[in-house]
Amino acid sequence: MLGAGAIGCLFASALRSTGPVTLLLREATAAAAEVVVERDGGASRVSLPISAAAQDGAISHLLVTTKAYDVRRAVSAVAHRLTPACQILLLGNGMGMADELRADFPHLALYCGTTTAGAYRIAPLHVRHAGRGATRIGQPGRRLAPPWFSRWSRTVADCTWDAQIEQALWLKLAINCAINPLTALHGCRNGELAARPELALQVARLCDEIAAIAGAAGYSGVARQVHGAVADVIAGTAHNRSSMLQDVAAGRRTEIDYISAYLLRVAARCNVPAPANAALLRRIRALTAPRIDPEG
């Protein structure tokens, strides 16, 4: 598994109950690490072997839960270990990473997933399960699940094979486009997007554009659901600080290139105007642009 953030730890810990899981890290300073998942007042602890990316050892199944902008680099770092029939599952925010990987590794079997399971990191490899959610996994154009999926369906709560995974990925993209940049810009929790009228108006404008883009791109089902799904997630995660707000607050790179920028590339291809999303992208880029030190 590549990516030991909150979602990575949650799934690694669950999958460990039905078979081996190895943590792939840039550097391995120990042979194994303990992953702790707190939930319902208790804590589960599993010990997982660690392998440095540059080491040898064939990888036949790879789960990638890194930040979107790290997917390509992380998979390239283990490329020498991937078996010709390696099955790779990408699970995280954003879209466009699968296209990048397909360009680099056209022979590999790529699957995509999206989850609403909630978890946040308390310390390295120590996470708190913040809420049960649904996980959808699929491969564009593939109706039936591959054999490895039975381990996921046995292990991960509410995990289903989705023969139309693009719809689920697009809906999650829409949710992230409407919530993440706005909360990052205003430094607010998700719920404030509904509670503050001026922000609710902006959410509505963003959703109008996103729905038009999704419709033009051939996802009319998504277009119909955008406003309702965004409102549901804002209500259901009202106390959350979005991942982009957390990234901005910590001075980390954001996933905006794989969220709003991806959406805007599709908008341009489909000739759909999207001024509200474009303005938000510009403001997030300005907010996170590296500062030039006049002294240095």
Cα gap 139→159, rounded to integer Å? 15
Report, in Å, the least distance between residue 87 CB and ligand KPL: 25
Report, in Å, the least distance between residue 180 CB and ligand KPL: 5
- Residues marked as catalytic: 172
- Strand-pair category, 135-138 with 42-52: unpaired
Pick the closer one to ligand KPL by CB: 173 or 266. 173
Cα gap 211→226, rounded to integer Å? 6
Pick the closer one to ligand KPL by CB: 46 or 179. 179
Whether 73 and 26 have beta carbons less than 8 Å apart is answered as: no
Report, in Å, the least distance between residue 190 CB and ligand KPL: 5
Whether 59 and 23 have beta carbons less than 8 Å apart is answered as: no
Report, in Å, the least distance between residue 22 CB and ligand KPL: 26
- Check residue 130 and report its DSSP letter: E
Structure token digits, residue 241: 């600080």
Report, in Å, the least distance between residue 118 CB and ligand KPL: 8
Pick the closer one to ligand KPL by CB: 78 or 119. 119
Whether 112 and 141 have beta carbons less than 8 Å apart is answered as: no
Task: Identify which of 130, 159, 158, 134 has the alpha carbon closest to the alpha carbon of residue 40.
Answer: 130
User: Footprint of ligand KPL on this chain (CB under 6 A)?
Assistant: 93, 175-176, 179-180, 190, 233, 237, 240, 242-243
Pick the closer one to ligand KPL by CB: 51 or 237. 237
Whether 162 and 137 have beta carbons less than 8 Å apart is answered as: yes
Cα gap 86→105, rounded to integer Å? 11
Task: Identify which of 163, 156, 161, 169 has the alpha carbon closest to the alpha carbon of residue 229.
Answer: 169
Task: Count CA within 13 A, CB hemisphere, residue 13.
Answer: 25
Pick the closer one to ligand KPL by CB: 22 or 246. 246
